[in-house]
Structure 1
Amino acid sequence: MTSIDLGRPVQGDVVDLILDDHRRFEALLRDLRDSSSDRDAVRQAFAALHVAHALAEEKLVYPKLQRKRAVGEHEAEHGEVEHAEGHEALLAVLELKGTDTQAFDDAVEELAGVVNHHLTEEELSILNPARDEVGEQVRADLGAAFAAERNRLLDDGCGTLTQVREIVSAARHEGLLDDED
């Protein structure tokens, strides 16, 4: 559990809830870059939010948007690949002992690049079609389900080093990550 507030929405349009998390990721990345912040607490909070957000999207949001024909299989699969890449970059940040080293700064820079790329792409290729193609009630129902799953995962203490290692290992096994990385 983290002392950093990650929000606990219980309802809302799923697009807005996802965008709220995207802004949280950007703020947490700024704090990770800030040498005066409690970088260890920030990376734990980032890890918890990244895992809860990605798993809830993959379990509920992407499949529903595919069923509603708002996004195709390619967009959903690409989103999962980018989540896996984010988890992999996150793992590098979590595995470092110190937070005041060049290695930490380099790992944070890599994480920021991967995550910011995903946020931009998801907002353009998944959230815009969801907004345009899926009705308000469906987005509201999906928002409540997404929020509940996200909050459950956060309450269960997701985003531990062990869990992120397992997620990355499973992603490699499923072929979501290139072995060259």
Structure 2
Amino acid sequence: MADVVELILADHRRFEEMFRELRDRTSNRATVLGELAAVLVAHAEAEEAEVYPALKRYSAVENEEVDHGAEEHHEGNEKLLALMEVADTSSEEWEAKLEELVKATNHHLDEEERTILNDARSEVPAERKDELGKAFWEARNRRLDQRCGEIEYVRKLVSKHGS
């Protein structure tokens, strides 16, 4: 098992790879989108359940940045749902919604890596990062097992946050 920072960064690189696949008109976009939805939702929920609350306990990690990260997860879920609701993966609408999701997600990844994860890398002891890595990975995989990337689940997430 790796430390939490390394696990999160590995997922971030995976998102970027899936975005490249989604931009490729020859790929099976529906399949890739299903995989992306599952990992994106599982990743965000695991961060919010296991990682963000723990990192708030460290004075070097800005609580505002952690709260902002959770808000960006919600924005990403909204963009993800908008893309999932477009049936024709070859349409201009689908392309536009994909770019909105890519932009929102990349913005979040960049901010999270520069703030929260850099602070965690330098301030959180290695043993604690390993413990958080294990908790993050287990929570992430539980969400994946619960099929969190299905459109109905994403709809519930978006509507829950909106109410």
Q: TM-score, normalised by structure 1?
A: 0.88
CA distance in 1, matches of 2:121, 2:17: 24
In the TM superposition, residue 133 of structure 1 has moved relative to its aligned partner by 0.7
CA distance in 2, matches of 1:19, 1:69: 22
- After TM superposition, the structure 1 = structure 2 runs for residues 1-181 of structure 1, keeping only pairs within 5 Å, are 11-173=1-163
Residue by residue over 1:119-167, the C-alpha shift from the partner in whole angstroms, topping out at 9 and shown as x without a partner, is 0000001000000110000000100110011011111211110111111
| Residue type of the alignment partner of 1:32 | L
Question: Which consecutive unaligned segments of at least 5 residues does structure 1 have?
Answer: 1-10, 174-181
In the TM superposition, residue 30 of structure 1 has moved relative to its aligned partner by 0.7
In the TM superposition, residue 87 of structure 1 has moved relative to its aligned partner by 0.4
In the TM superposition, residue 73 of structure 1 has moved relative to its aligned partner by 2.2
In the TM superposition, residue 72 of structure 1 has moved relative to its aligned partner by 2.7
CA distance in 1, matches of 2:25, 2:161: 31
In the TM superposition, residue 70 of structure 1 has moved relative to its aligned partner by 3.7
Contact 2:50 2:135 in 1 (8 A): yes
Which runs of structure 1 show a deviation greater than 6 angstroms over 4 or more consecutive aligned residues?
Answer: none
Identity of aligned residues (%): 49
In the TM superposition, residue 76 of structure 1 has moved relative to its aligned partner by 1.2
The structure where helix makes up a greater share of residues is 2
Question: Which consecutive unaligned segments of at least 5 residues does structure 2 have?
Answer: none
What do you get for the CA RMSD once the two structures are aligned?
0.8
Residue by residue over 1:99-128, the C-alpha shift from the partner in whole angstroms, topping out at 9 and shown as x without a partner, is 010000000000000000000000001000
Q: TM-score, normalised by structure 2?
A: 0.98
| Residue type of the alignment partner of 1:36 | T
How many residues of Structure 1 are paired with residues of Structure 2 in the alignment? 163
In the TM superposition, residue 69 of structure 1 has moved relative to its aligned partner by 2.7
